[in-house]
Amino acid sequence: MQAPGAEASQHTTAPPTTGKPWQDICADVQAYRDATVEAVFPALSSLIASDLPLNVTGVPADVLTFQELHITSLPTEEILHRLASRELTCFETTNAFIRRAAVAKHLVNCVTELLPERAHARAQYLDEYITTHGKPIGPLHGLPISVKEHVSMKGLDCNAGFVSWVGRAAQEDALILKILWEAGAVFYVRTTEPQTIV
């Protein structure tokens, strides 16, 4: 997946863990996750867990723009149609999904890391590609796709929810990601999973 539009800069895997107590490792991983959320642009207004209502379904409408809510609520086939016809750009679509994922992290803690730099670089490449060639790069051109943390992404942590596995960087991308990439997908967030994936 190191084709043009891959990443502007490579995220590194989680911080080194040698000799640290598990509580410190967890704190480091959470700080790393939070730093990726802080990279969201424009910055989200502060979401403080203690101030959230019991029913958080309305919170995205208070934080995101109308356009971001609209884009992230469209059916997949409609997003793909609008990207292929250039009614939407890959960049604006990707950024809307990144921002919605950042909100979701605050509300339900479902994110292990956001990938704004690499996702924006990929989206920009895809926008340039369709402008130059007049057609999508593949059937999933510009579609933002979330990836579970245990699915290998080269150079990124792959710990399946085990503290003892933090720091194990994937040596290559999983086959499914290679297939999705060739089809034109944009990977924008890595998400949590149950420990041991069961």
DSSP H helical segments within the chain, as ranges?
A: 22-38, 59-63, 66-73, 76-84, 90-108, 116-133, 175-182
What pTM, to 2 d.p., does this model score?
A: 0.88
Contact 57, 108 (CB under 8 A): no
Contact 111, 101 (CB under 8 A): yes
Full set of structural domains in the chain with CATH: 22-193 (3.90.1300.10)
Rounded to whole angstroms, the Cα distance separating 190 from 198 reads 18
Provide the token pair at 63. 């934080």
pLDDT (tens place) for every residue of the chain, 198 residues total: 444 444 443 445 555 566 789 999 999 999 999 999 988 888 876 665 567 888 989 889 988 999 999 999 999 999 999 999 999 999 999 999 999 999 999 898 899 999 999 999 999 999 999 999 999 999 999 999 999 999 999 999 988 888 888 988 999 999 999 999 999 999 999 999 887 665
